[in-house]
Structure 1
Amino acid sequence: MMLRQLGGIALALALLGGGYALVAQVAGERGIAPTAASADIEVRGIAVDVTANSPEEARAKGWREAQRKAWEKINGPRISDSQLDGLVSAVVIQRERLGPRRYIATLGVIFDRQRASGYLGGGQQAARSAPMLLIPVEVSGGTYTTFEQRNAWQRAWAEFNPGTSRIDYVRPSGAGGDSLLVNFGQTGRHSRAWWRSTLDQYGAADALMAFARLDHQFPGGPVSATFTARYGPDSHVLESFTLKAEGPDEVPAMLVRAVERMDAIFIAALESGKLRPDPTLRLGGAGDIDPAIERLIAIGRAVRERAAAEAAAAAAGNLPGTEIQPVTGGDTAEAAVRSIVVQFATPDAGAFDGALGAVRSVAGVRGLGVTSTAIGGTSVMSVSYAGTLEELAAALEGRGFAVRRGANALAISR
């Protein structure tokens, strides 16, 4: 009887422990809510050190000095303090120490853009990007952290004001299920279905990854950091750069500079045309499917139909033959050039390059363009070919590829 009672108690404790483990995956202080994205002009990191007859007078003097320094930092013209007061909408206290007659602080100053534009001027707002899901990854001590626990890199992005940026950032707070949906593992996945499901949760069209690798030389000593900007489901690298902080106290300021520089990298990629949503992630509207995905679906259907036809022919004892139609056009006319979609397996970079080289070497190929790259998966190219689909398929089979035919599309593999 005692053994049965002890067994029941152990089972209950195990069940309670399992339930706690499930809750612990999303419990705790993880979330840092992003600041509002306003179009106002925000200048951070203004250091002041002033003295006065009282603490209140010292603080007022320090704030006024911060306003003047911030105005000079954005190249504002010379104006009076009373005019400057009318342009400031808020003063943000980043850090302050207040004494009986001294005020030392690091402040941020926010100017109202509508009122300040009369002094600064302002051009027309440039076109913004599609909504981009931001995934900040901090690498420290061999641990990759996004929203599993609060970290300085997550805080730097949460406090960044993207109101004047051309990038439409979608910034998860890290609360609730964010730590399960958006984590370091997500940055290495290539499955478009998985990515579409995640992006749909946040109303985003594509993803941006911001990596920060922090290397501490020794406890309390200098910290060097390598930052890498990536984008898309295949984690394409845009640019990397390094910064250094003399000590742990300077790390937050270094991360603020890194966020601003990464934003500039993403904007430059948008202007150069690199930062375009991956077409394989779009399902279209009103029930329509993206043309690239629709062609891949057509290939799958054609493969199934062909396999069924071959099975039926084999059962009847009559294997079907492949009839290849020659290119027609007479003595002076060349065969019409058509665009054919070719889906090709790319388990590694060598297979990717080899497939492109083999297709380019086929007689009649006038050009090709890669529309989707997925190292470790399946990539897609568009081939301009002077001939028929069957002729291109036969030529690729002659080069050792296994070829499956579809509606104006081929799927090849080794």
Structure 2
Amino acid sequence: MTLPSLPFPRIAVALIALLGGLAMLYAGWANAQVEGDRGIAPLMVSTDINVGGIEINVTGDNAEEARQKGWREAQRMAWEKLGGPDLSDSQLQGLVSAIVIQQEETGPRRYVATLGVAFDRQRASGYLGSSGETRRSAPMLVLPVTVSGGTDLMYQQVNPWQRAWAEYQPGASRIDYVRPSGAGGESLLLTYGQTGRRSRNWWATIIDQFGAADVLVPIARLDYSYPGGPIVGSFTARHGPDNEYLGSFTMRADSPRQLNAMLERAVARFDEMFVEALAAGTIRPDPTLDRAGGMVDADIARLIAQSRAILARAEAARNRPTLTEEEASVADANAAQAGAAEGGEGASVINLFVNVPTPDAAAFDAALATVRGTPGVRGASVSSTAIGGTSVLSVSYAGTVDDLIGALAQGGYNVQRAGNNLTISR
């Protein structure tokens, strides 16, 4: 009995068409994951001196006069907050680079607003004295998390907390913030689930992509009393791949109209917390995120140094019979010197970070070459590069921290110590 022939070509064509349709559906679904209004580009960082949260309530003969009067009063109040000397309104006007309207209500003769005042740093520094040139942190990736209504949101859609960080002006801050826009594939990479991961490879891949050295996670938990009612914000600061707790605080907005103003104040409060943690030595690059190589565990480095010293002494002993007395003494001296240079049996190898101001590429290259050429330095790798800011080097040194400070000082550097971290400058 013969079986009827099956239309294999037709079946194959149908399967190919079905697979092609599924592929198109998958491509459309994948494309939909990165489309939509979710990216907020951060504002360009300004070095102006910003004073925000100035509350104004003034009256005038008309709306425009009330506004101008309110702006002049805001300038004086902001200048007083900075502790500046007494200046006339015209002098202050010459120092102001911008008036930021945070919230504004106008009437026929009344002006009620919350304003921010930006003073030009170069012009204002002559009255304020030193603007406080202090050490800045290594580049820190900022991952703002919003917890509200049972959801944990980061960059999956535009939200007020992300906007508050994107619009923040950290020019005068000691923290070097790296703020993603959240557009495109960044919304798939930067999720709340990432903050709970402990894999150093995952974290190192992410921070390398954004040119950062570590991560800061400001969390905003927003609880709405009822639609249109008060909003209570519970804010928590965390740091690093281990989600280290730094501190928390609460704020309250009487209505959704005041939510943005509350979040702006919260961002400024977070900056204060991060600066305090930096001064205390809590915020510093995690050495486990450094994949540049060249760093060896202290115990392993000590064993290597000891083995090299033993080999040097054995070589000297083996060649002693064929050497004259003078040559033998020279060989012993060379062996001892080799042992000392490699750390010796009693010396220990320490690993630490060295912060270096690098205003340009030439300064970066010179600093790296100087540190690597410092006697006793076993290795120096780049932990983070910040041209125009402060770069961080991971240094392995055979000796003590005090010895390294002295060696760097002999190289022409001014050295400041904070725990086991050093900051060098010319």
TM tier, shorter chain?
0.5 to 0.7
Instruction: Give yes or no for contact 1:279–1:290 (8 Å, CA) kept in 2.
Output: no
Aligned residue in 1 for 2:31: 23
Q: Percent identity among equivalent residues?
A: 56
Q: Distance in 1 between matches of 2:285 and 2:44?
A: 25
The one-letter amino acid of 2:45's match is A
Superimposed CA distance per residue, residues 253-295 of structure 1 (whole angstroms, 9 cap, x where no aligned partner): 22122211211111111111121211111123xxx33324996
Match for 1:231: what amino acid?
Answer: H
- Using the TM superposition, give the Cα deviation of residue 143 of structure 1 relative to its aligned residue in structure 2, in angstroms: 0.5
Instruction: Indicate which of 290, 293, 304 corresponds to 2:295.
Output: 290
Specify whether residues 292 and 106 from structure 1 end up closer, same or farther in structure 2 by C-alpha distance, changes over 3 A only: same
CA offset at residue 62 of structure 1?
Answer: 2.9
The CA distance in 1 between the partners of 2:16 and 2:56, in whole Å, is 66
Are residues 1:196 and 2:204 paired?
A: yes
Alignment deviations for residues 147-176 of structure 1 (CA, whole Å, 9 cap, x no partner)? 101111111111211111111111101112
**Farther off after superposition, 250-259 or 3-12:** 3-12
Equivalent-residue separation in structure 2 for 1:144 and 1:22 (angstroms): 21
How far apart, in 1, do the equivalents of 2:280 and 2:53 lie?
31
SS in 1 for 2:250: strand
Deviations 1:56-89 (A, max 9, x none): 4443333222222222233333211111111101
Worse-matched range after superposition: 218-227 or 90-99: 90-99
Measure, in 1, the Cα distance between the counterparts of 2:214 and 2:45.
19
1:220 corresponds to? 228
**Pair 1:169 & 2:151 matched:** no
Establish whether residue 234 from structure 1 lines up as the match of residue 239 from structure 2: no
Match status 1:243 vs 2:263: no
Query: Which residue in 2 is equivalent to 1:145?
Result: 153
Structure 2 CA distance, aligned partners of 1:226 and 1:291?
42
SS of the equivalent of 2:171 reads: helix
Partners of 1:111 and 1:122 lie apart in 2 by: 14
Between the aligned partners of 1:11 and 1:112, the Cα distance in structure 2 is 62
Asked if the contact 2:103–2:261 (Cα under 8 Å) also holds between the matched residues in 1, the reply is no
Contact kept in structure 2, 1:282 and 1:290, CA below 8 Å: no
**Offset at residue 245 of structure 1 (A):** 2.0
Q: Secondary structure at the match of 1:164?
A: coil
Q: TM-score, normalised by structure 2?
A: 0.63
2:189 aligned with 1:184 = no
Output the CA distance in 1 between the equivalents of 2:297 and 2:288: 7
Q: Using the alignment, how far apart are the partners of 1:220 and 1:179 within structure 2?
A: 29
Q: Distance in 1 between matches of 2:210 and 2:78?
A: 35
Matched residues, number: 299
Which sits farther off after the overlay, 4-13 or 67-76?
Answer: 4-13
Residue 93, structure 1, aligned to residue 101, structure 2: yes
Do the aligned partners of 1:280 and 1:292 also contact (CA within 8 Å) in 2? no
1:242 & 1:77 partners in 2: Cα distance? 34
User: What is the CA-CA distance between 1:55 and the residue it aligns to?
Assistant: 4.5
Does structure 1 retain, via aligned residues, the 8 Å contact 2:298–2:348?
A: no
Q: CA RMSD in A?
A: 3.1
Partner of 2:83: 75
Gaps of 5+ in 1: 299-335, 341-414
Cross-structure match for 2:392: none
2-side partners of 1:70 and 1:124: how far apart? Answer: 18
> Is the deviation greater in 10-19 or in 163-172?
10-19
